Amino acid sequence: MQTRTFAPTLEHPTNEVDGLLEQVRQIQSVCDHDFRMIERLDLVESKVAGVFIGGVGLRSEFMSIRCLKCSDRAFVPVYLFCPECQGKMIDRGQVNRRKYLGFGSQIVGLGFLYKARLTQCENCGFRVVTDRLD
């Protein structure tokens, strides 16, 4: 059996696009970001009225966001960035998993335990419950 090795080109001559990309990185690094959600996000209401499920188990809901000023993009979980008004989410602590999600504790490998945590937007009051490993 024959083996072929391919080495990456570590150096290449800089071109106009490389220069433009560096300018974009510099602009983004000093930008006073104004992120907005750019894709639709459908959240299901939990067992508690007015509180939405932001993730169960290993499946957390993430939002794709983009800065209006510099076009920087990021993916953030709904427990950090409000999908309603794009405000900051505040951790309100652990809540009863059965009451909010409809099922009790779940232990996963190495003895980790999923616990439900409630977050609330500091601007509009939007609330999300998410499962997180403890």
Q: List, for residues 21-46, the tens digit of each pLDDT value.
A: 999 999 999 999 999 998 888 899 99
Q: How far apart are CA 31 and CA 44, in angstroms?
A: 34
Calculate mean pLDDT across residues 57-82.
Answer: 89
What confidence category does residue 5 fall into, taking pLDDT thresholds of 50, 70 and 90? confident
Predicted model pTM: 0.75
Calculate mean pLDDT across residues 7-19.
Answer: 82
Q: List, for residues 82-95, the tens digit of each pLDDT value.
A: 999 989 999 999 99
Lowest mean pLDDT among 28-37, 55-64, 73-82: 55-64
Angle (CA) 123 125 127, round 5°: 130
Calculate mean pLDDT across residues 6-21.
Answer: 83
For residue 75, pLDDT over 80 is answered with yes
Residue 128's pLDDT is: 96
Q: List, for residues 101-134, the tens digit of each pLDDT value.
A: 887 766 665 667 788 899 999 999 999 999 887 6
